[in-house]
Structure 1
Amino acid sequence: MTARGRGEATRREPVLERPESLFDIRLDARDRSAPPPVDAPRRAARAKTAKPAPDPKPAEPRRGRADPPQKSRESSRPARRRRRGSLVFGLIKWGLILGVWAVLALAGVIAWEASKLPPMQTLMIPKRPPTVTVQAADGKTLATRGDMGGVAVPIGELPPYLPKAFVAIEDQRFFSHFGLDPEGLARALVTNLTSRRLRQGGSTLTQQLAKNLFLTQERTASRKVQELVLALWLEHKFTKAEILDLYLNRVYFGAGAYGVEAAAQRYFGKSARQVTLAEAAMLAGLVNSPSRLAPTRNLKGAQARAGLVLAAMRQQGLITPEMASTALARPAQLSRAGMPDSSGYVADWVMDQLDSFVGEDLPGDVTVRTTVDAGLQQAAEKALDDTLAKSGGKFGVGQGALVVLDTDGGVKALIGGRNYADSQYNRAVTARRQPGSAFKPFIYLTAIEHGLTPETVREDGPIQLKGWRPENSTHEYRGPVTLTQALALSLNTVSVRLTLEVGPKAVVATAKRLGITSPLDPNPSIALGTSEVSVLELAGAYVPFATGGIGVIPHVIDVVKGADGKVLYQRNISGPGRVMDPAYAAMMNHMMMETLASGTARRADLPGWEAAGKTGTSQDYRDAWFVGYTARYVTAVWLGNDDSSPTKKASGANLPVEIWSRVMKTAHQGVPVAELPGGLRSYGFGGAGYGAPGGSLLPPESLPDDRPPAVVGQMPPPPQPEQPMTIDRWFAETFLGAKRQ
């Protein structure tokens, strides 16, 4: 019987239940090898009395790694706080660490840059470059020269609002900081970062002074660190007032002006001691950008900046609102006196000579008092400028020069060109041009010294020697004429004949003796003034005619004094002495007075004064001259072009005579009248004055202007001179005999 047959009983496989507790393999306290905690009995007691907890929801079967239990919000917040606190603490800690390292690094950089500077115990304020103040004869300042452009003025002598203006706009915490202004530096840093460009520097006045005294103007981190070190040293070494004094007398104001005195003179034509509040505000505003804001090129910009300075001063209580309003209503203006003028030519000439008088190393600021008459200097500048502005284009003249000397050789006025601002080339001292007929007085004087007189007759006629034919300007000839007529009419043929008679070397010797210093060629061409001379030396060589034969050395420097008032030089040289016999000087004056009375310079106008002189025109009308004189002054005028190009027939008889008349009228205002040595009044002949009818000894006929000579060639040997004549014999035969008739 099979199993099925015995009851068909089925086989049942055993089924095992999977209660969750059987598969929980986590350890509990009973599984630990350590003894139970001390408070285990108390925990057991609490467990018995506690209410049974509801059965937990059956957990889902776990697969793989068991998940950590979720934390409640209450338990996660303290953790976040702890993590945040740890982060803040870490930041603070590392910030402090980095800060310490930054300080150490900064200290190292400062120490490194400071090591490049000279030892502080040996550091000294650099000596301020000396300034030369050039004054007129009356003490008025004509110009200043030197690297600083002006003398130092103590802060106590300045108006109180002047230094306050600088503090207000440049460093308002100047009196409270220690050389470095952290607040100002931070503000400048923020401004520069927000604007993304360098707009503020944050430097204090002390730092700016340190840069000006010891460092270059380059903008580098190294220079900035050195600037800070030096600023701290300055604050330790000097008081605030001393630092401000040094700053004001050295800072740059543009247009070549260093220091407030130079700037005030340059822009306002006055001393810094006399500036107004508006002018002080403008000066304070310039140091921020001196090249861009210089009033000479940007007056509106300088005035706008001055307005900001005034506003700052008012806000800081340094001036009253009324003072600010008044200054704003009348802003500072550029003074004409502060502009470069013809006095610059005088100042430059002074500087060229100064070393020979006081040495190359000046002891400090010096003052040079000159012989120049400031009023006459301005009048001469105006006369030249007005004449060229009116007639320069018509006559093709672009430049001019002028010198006025007194009878001691002192320069009373010197104009080296039409406009000093445009050209500093000194045409009165440096340039040399052909004098033309203005050189003839030396030829006639040589002839007189060889025995001729003003009444000696010579032939005005054609002359030809080896292809050379000198002619008169009119190409006409007058036949026999006296030397007086020949000189007054500037007859070229007579001048050549006289040169041949006495010899060119004798003429050169005479000119040198009277004061010509330029090289002169002893050839026949000298008869027509072909050797070049300067305006200054030609004027000086005419002075012996005005003095009766006493020579002079043209000079401009009278006294040189140091800043302490000590006299470093004082002129006491009298000159070469007598260079001409008084009788010959009288004869020459007689002849050259006729030049103004009825000759080529008859347009000269100086009523009431005996005056004499000579015109001159070089070949092709390249140079136009007139040198005229009285018993008080000698004035030489030259007109032409720098490139020696021909003018449009400008001659000594037109524009130079016009300028000479204007200048000499100014020079003789208020001066007692004096006669020329040997003049007609000196011998009892009243005369009507020169430049007026009745004063001429020549026939009343139409006379030509002075004109250029012809080309010169080789000359034959000169003939023997006539026998000499005394002055008494000449006057007796010429005037007294004629009077008895």
Structure 2
Amino acid sequence: MRAQKLRRTVTALLGFTAFSALAGVLVAASLTPLVAVAGVTATNTVGIFDSLPEFIELGDQPQKNAIFAVEGVDAAGAPVYRQIAQVYDQNREEVGWDAVSQFLKDATVAGEDRRFYEHGGVDLPGVIRAAVENASGTSQSGASTLSMQLVKNIYIQDALQLPTDEARKAGIAAAQEATLDRKLKEMKLAIGLEKKYTKDEILLGYLNIAGFGGNNYGVQAAAQRYYGVSAADVTLAQAASLVAIVQEPGARGLDDPANYAANLERRDVILRNMFVEGTIDRAQLDEALAVPVDETTVVLAPYTNGCIAADPYATYFCDYVTALVPELESLGGTASERAANWKLGGYKLYTTLDLRLQTVAQDTVTAQAPATETRLALGAAAVSVQPGTGRILTMAQNTRFDNTELGGGPGTTSVNYTTDRPYGGSRGFQAGSTYKVFTLINWLQNGHGLNEVVDGNGRTVQQAAFANSCPNSSTGGGVEDGPFGGPWPFKNSSGERGSRSVMDATAASINGAYVSMGLQLDQCETKRIAQALGVHTANNVDDPATTDIVENQLGSNPSAIIGTNTVAPLTMAAAYAGIVNHGTYCAPVAVDSLTDADGVALPGQAHACSPAITSEAAATTAYALENAMARYAGNPRDGVPILGKTGTTDDFDQTWLMSSTTAVTTAVWFGNVSGKYDLTRYPGGINNRHTIAKPINAAANALYPGGAFDAPSAGLVSAPGIALPSLVGGSVENARSIVEGLGLVYSDGGQADSTAPAGTVVSPGDGTTVTRGSTVAVVTSNGALVDMPDLLGSEAGAASSTLTAAGFAEVKLVCVALGETEPGVGTVVSSNPAAGAAARTSDGATLGVGKAAC
């Protein structure tokens, strides 16, 4: 007890000393309101006061940011927006003077500064009274006027905008420290406020900045949180209860029922002060005092902050947009400045999301891929972009967004499957055969054609056989760049065999054919084509050499041909949109425009578009993919031209369907979020990608009807043929060497009856032209034919001997009547086979011998 009494005495003496010093300075300076405003100085003591800063701005306080999406168009075709989320650092909504109840204004003055309208920023009688009360131990009053409290709150708000927790804590502590210097500074700045602003402006500034417990700042947010009404509509009892919070938010805030009793006690003091001041009458006082502070009067409205509280159809898109904030140049010159301005708030972001199409996408994905599936970690996502602009129209996935610390349980996640790791936490998924399109583009840009025929067999190839001009990782290239070595066995997913045209191999997605194409191309060039179309891995990795976060580069290893790189659906959608857009890639865009807290219109994300591939290759690729989509179940078959490409990984654990019209490109992914599970064993199997894509494509075609794709290049559909050099008369070994050296496939065409020596080539003949990659059937002679000699005019016996010597099994002599006067009697006048004809000796020959009469 003696120790406690000693501490109280010491505290009282310190308080008396501090306030005596303050009073001494103020009295010495003659700082009555009139003198203070005039800035009169009188003694050396005032020098301490004069050295302090004089002015402080009320400034803008942190407010809510609002995010909007398109819900339709007006008669002129302009977008009509609907708010989908509000995101804020502090739950605050600044309001004007007329939007605040008079009860709140009067309660604030009665509870916090009863001489507010009389002093000039510092209440000198209050300072003296506080010093006396503190010295006597009856109070620990700070004698702070509303103006002084506003100054302190401004400094606290400034501290809350600092970049680190440590800096914020230090700044808040400095704004509240019980020192003479701080108190003097607070007083000086309060006087400066009174010079610059009216009393009503200061009171309104205080009501908009004050903390009301939890994350609630300003009377509007507090009234909405605790009573579900606006600051203009609170009752007398509610107004006094709200003002009761500001002195001790932690002890009197209405978020916690344990604070109700303390709030009631302070509320009643404020009510009685209002009665004494004459702002309410006895009846109003009695009525308000009779109102309890409990669960019957405090009705907590749910927080609406953040993407977890966004429109349920747009939660993941909301999260993606907020992750883009450091990149929105309209918010500031640097990433840190943009983040700080966003934290200050008051922005309205008008996004590209089309809720009409998004609703279809989300409902379809949810229905086809239940997030609570227990057989596997099932994930599904659909994202649509607009070719030519990169505007993101949909972003849907099968789970429910939850970024709370404890998570929302099964079926929830904060990971956005459609985006990269920095924008949603996903590490991406193997692209499977959707990645083959980049090999196809490389093939076409190197002059090859869709009708060329290649080996489509699954087999083992040597990785060293693939050209790869990218340096390996030890020399600064990508993490999986060449050269490569060792055998690579691969198979076709459906066991296809034989040679195929590139056109057919694309539609059937035959691995063997694409490996054969890759063997004729530079794998690094395929990688560069993908990168030009915006493709990159979704994951970011730590670079041990620099300790920086760097993008994990695409691999150009041979297996990349069939889709081993891990990418995000949004990335693939933008890449395919670039193909449709005549070969020009446009980076994804989510924000069309925004306005700041003053309503000033600001530009959204710039449309970053650049040529990526030749227009001829783009059009011909689209032609091949349109042929492929004609076979797929994801095609709505509504008359709108549409292209597409499926993708499935070797283990059937990831499946894709890319599809696009000239107006909308959609990527659908359906697969394992983690672990392995053969989706062919799942109900619907890999066909689920089509059942998700089809209704989305149908809805997109209704809202954004597309047109015809560009006509393909005739030269790239049927590439110039290869003229074979002379093979006839040569050996089989020579023919095989020539055929395979031209990149063609040698085939044994068997033997044919010929006069050429047995075993020599008789077909194909000189001047034959074949399609690149096609099979050449080489035919050899069996030596069964001879050239029929010309025996006309020869003596019959001698002619017969000649044929017998030539190998003819049988020689027939027949009479030909010439008459006595005709020449040639006794000689050969005809032969069958005719002279010079190729004759089979086993068939024999017939000679006509001339006679006068037969």
- TM-score between the two structures when normalised by the length of structure 2: 0.53
Q: Find out whether 1:411 has 2:411 as its counterpart.
A: no
Task: Measure how far apart 1:203 and its partner are.
Answer: 7.5
Q: Partner of 1:576: helix, strand, or coil? A: strand
Alignment of 1:309-348 (within 5 A): 331=299, 333-334=301-302, 339-340=309-310, 341-348=315-322
- TM-score between the two structures when normalised by the length of structure 1: 0.59
Aligned partners of 1:376 and 1:663 also within 8 Å: no
Q: Find out whether 1:592 has 2:592 as its counterpart.
A: no
Alignment of 1:685-724 (within 5 A): none
Task: Measure how far apart 1:439 and its partner are.
Answer: 0.9
Alignment of 1:371-386 (within 5 A): 371-373=351-353, 375=355, 379=359, 382-383=362-363, 386=366
1:212 matched to which residue of 2? Answer: 153
1: distance between equivalents of 2:189 and 2:615? 71
1:440 matched to which residue of 2? Answer: 436
1:461 matched to which residue of 2? Answer: 457
Alignment of 1:88-237 (within 5 A): 106-108=19-21, 119-125=51-57, 127-128=59-60, 134-136=67-69, 138=80, 140-142=82-84, 153-156=94-97, 158=99, 160=101, 164=105, 167=108, 171=112, 173=114, 206=147, 208-215=149-156, 217-218=172-173, 221-222=178-179, 229=187, 233=191, 236-237=194-195
More strand by share: 2
With 606-615 and 256-265 compared, the bigger mean Cα shift is at 256-265
- The structure having more radius of gyration, on CA atoms, is 1
2:373 maps to which of 393, 397, 403 = 393
Specify whether residues 248 and 623 from structure 1 end up closer, same or farther in structure 2 by C-alpha distance, changes over 3 A only. farther
2: distance between equivalents of 1:388 and 1:263? 42
2:8 matched to which residue of 1? Answer: none
More helix by share: 1
The residue identity in structure 2 corresponding to 1:419 is: F
1:188-213 deviation digits (Å, cap 9, x = unpaired): x99xx99x9x9x99987555433322
Gaps of 5+ in 1: 1-98, 684-716, 726-741
Q: Partner of 1:551: helix, strand, or coil? A: strand
2:326 matched to which residue of 1? Answer: 352
1:54 matched to which residue of 2? Answer: none
1:54-96 deviation digits (Å, cap 9, x = unpaired): xxxxxxxxxxxxxxxxxxxxxxxxxxxxxxxxxxxxxxxxxxx
Specify whether residues 673 and 214 from structure 1 end up closer, same or farther in structure 2 by C-alpha distance, changes over 3 A only. closer
Higher relative contact order (CA 8 A, sep 6+): 1
Alignment of 1:652-691 (within 5 A): 653-661=686-694, 663-664=696-697, 667-669=700-702, 671=703, 673-678=705-710
1: distance between equivalents of 2:678 and 2:533? 33
1: distance between equivalents of 2:106 and 2:365? 40
Aligned partners of 1:514 and 1:551 also within 8 Å: yes
1:472 matched to which residue of 2? Answer: 492
2:765 matched to which residue of 1? Answer: none
1:499 matched to which residue of 2? Answer: 518
Task: Measure how far apart 1:359 and its partner are.
Answer: 0.8
The residue identity in structure 2 corresponding to 1:439 is: Y
2: distance between equivalents of 1:273 and 1:533? 49
2: distance between equivalents of 1:159 and 1:293? 21
Gaps of 5+ in 2: 1-11, 27-45, 71-79, 157-170, 405-412, 463-486, 538-552, 715-740, 746-769, 774-854
Aligned partners of 1:136 and 1:371 also within 8 Å: yes
Specify whether residues 672 and 450 from structure 1 end up closer, same or farther in structure 2 by C-alpha distance, changes over 3 A only. same
1: distance between equivalents of 2:22 and 2:381? 61
The residue identity in structure 1 corresponding to 2:589 is: H
1:739 matched to which residue of 2? Answer: none
The residue identity in structure 2 corresponding to 1:351 is: V
1:513 maps to which of 532, 540, 543 = 532
1:361-405 deviation digits (Å, cap 9, x = unpaired): 568867464442252586378448735872552452365655321
With 138-147 and 280-289 compared, the bigger mean Cα shift is at 280-289
Specify whether residues 645 and 491 from structure 1 end up closer, same or farther in structure 2 by C-alpha distance, changes over 3 A only. same
1:244 maps to which of 164, 179, 203 = 203
Task: Measure how far apart 1:527 and its partner are.
Answer: 0.7
Aligned length: 572
1:90-112 deviation digits (Å, cap 9, x = unpaired): xxxxxxxxx99986663126679
Specify whether residues 654 and 202 from structure 1 end up closer, same or farther in structure 2 by C-alpha distance, changes over 3 A only. farther
What is the Cα-based RMSD across aligned positions, in Å? 5.8
Q: Find out whether 1:580 has 2:614 as its counterpart.
A: yes
Aligned partners of 1:450 and 1:723 also within 8 Å: no
Q: Partner of 1:495: helix, strand, or coil? A: helix
1:541 matched to which residue of 2? Answer: 575
The residue identity in structure 1 corresponding to 2:155 is: F
1:27-65 deviation digits (Å, cap 9, x = unpaired): xxxxxxxxxxxxxxxxxxxxxxxxxxxxxxxxxxxxxxx
Q: Partner of 1:501: helix, strand, or coil? A: coil
Q: Partner of 2:647: helix, strand, or coil? A: strand
The residue identity in structure 1 corresponding to 2:390 is: G
2: distance between equivalents of 1:639 and 1:663? 14
1:414-446 deviation digits (Å, cap 9, x = unpaired): 469851534666551334533222211222232
Calculate percent identity across the aligned residue pairs: 21
Q: Partner of 2:56: helix, strand, or coil? A: coil
